[in-house]
A = this chain, B = another copy of it.
């Protein structure tokens, strides 16, 4: 992964709100980004729209998912859980050996509102790890509201990004990226398996959003105000 700092970060699902929002914040922090989509033209259109947003200094391109992954060392998965296994499986050969950042929230919705979907692997992050055993998987960015990510004026520095993973070096790298995305605090939440707790917590946030008409996020108490992480 010697090209980690020059290669773009790929965002699979880069035309969805979460993917575009994370891509915007990463590009604003100076990281080249390539949006991936099933449809290369849609990805190119979304990339053009991001380039027009304030503060974007790094290149933002669009490509078909497979081509986006091939250009990157770090790949964000920002896709709906529905179809997740099929999509990751179809990209397994190009995801091999890469650092996967899973931002996937396995949620269901019915008349009672949002709820966490059962996942056989425990979590979407662990599912990706099973499907691409040579990749390193880290879970992060589950709780940042997409409309806030995409709002150039929104201050995210009070939001915690909880990061989980079993590879310390990869986790440190994602912690550093997360602190750049929010210009705030990134928290080492522990093992990858705790993605089973982080992912469906988003159901609670959506429920709170509806009740309080807000865009809620997570902050932990009991931590120092700024646990800044630097890229190793």
Residues of A at under 8 Å CB distance from B? 112-116, 145, 158-159, 162, 187-191, 193-194, 196-198, 200-201, 203-205, 207-212, 214-224, 227
B217–A220 contact, CB under 8 A?
A: yes
Among residues of B, the one whose C-beta sits closest to the C-beta of A112 is: B191
Among residues of B, the one whose C-beta sits closest to the C-beta of A221 is: B217
A207 to B207 Cα, complex, angstroms: 25
A158 to B219 Cα, complex, angstroms: 11
Min distance, Cβ A106 to any Cβ of chain B, angstroms: 11
Given contact pairs A113-B190, A116-B196, A219 touches B219 in the complex (Cβ within 8 A): yes
A222–B211 contact, CB under 8 A?
A: no
Min distance, Cβ A69 to any Cβ of chain B, angstroms: 29
Query: What are the residues of chain B within 8 A of A210 when measuring CB–CB?
Result: 190
Min distance, Cβ A83 to any Cβ of chain B, angstroms: 23
Query: What are the residues of chain B within 8 A of A187 when measuring CB–CB?
Result: 208, 212
Among residues of B, the one whose C-beta sits closest to the C-beta of A158 is: B221
Contacting A208 at CB < 8 Å: which of B115, B116, B190, B212? B190
A32 to B63 Cα, complex, angstroms: 65
Which one of A200, A216, A222 has the greatest number of beta carbons of chain B within 10 Å?
A222
Given contact pairs A112-B193, A197-B203, A221 touches B218 in the complex (Cβ within 8 A): yes
Among residues of B, the one whose C-beta sits closest to the C-beta of A201 is: B197
Given contact pairs A116-B196, A197-B116, A200-B197, A220 touches B205 in the complex (Cβ within 8 A): yes
Which one of A190, A212, A215, A216 has the greatest number of beta carbons of chain B within 10 Å?
A190
Among residues of B, the one whose C-beta sits closest to the C-beta of A115 is: B193
A208–B223 contact, CB under 8 A?
A: yes
Min distance, Cβ A227 to any Cβ of chain B, angstroms: 8
Query: What are the residues of chain B within 8 A of A113 when measuring CB–CB?
Result: 190-191
B216–A159 contact, CB under 8 A?
A: no
Query: What are the residues of chain B within 8 A of A227 when measuring CB–CB?
Result: 212
Query: What are the residues of chain B within 8 A of A215 when measuring CB–CB?
Result: 222
A194 to B201 Cα, complex, angstroms: 9
A227 to B213 Cα, complex, angstroms: 13
A220–B211 contact, CB under 8 A?
A: no
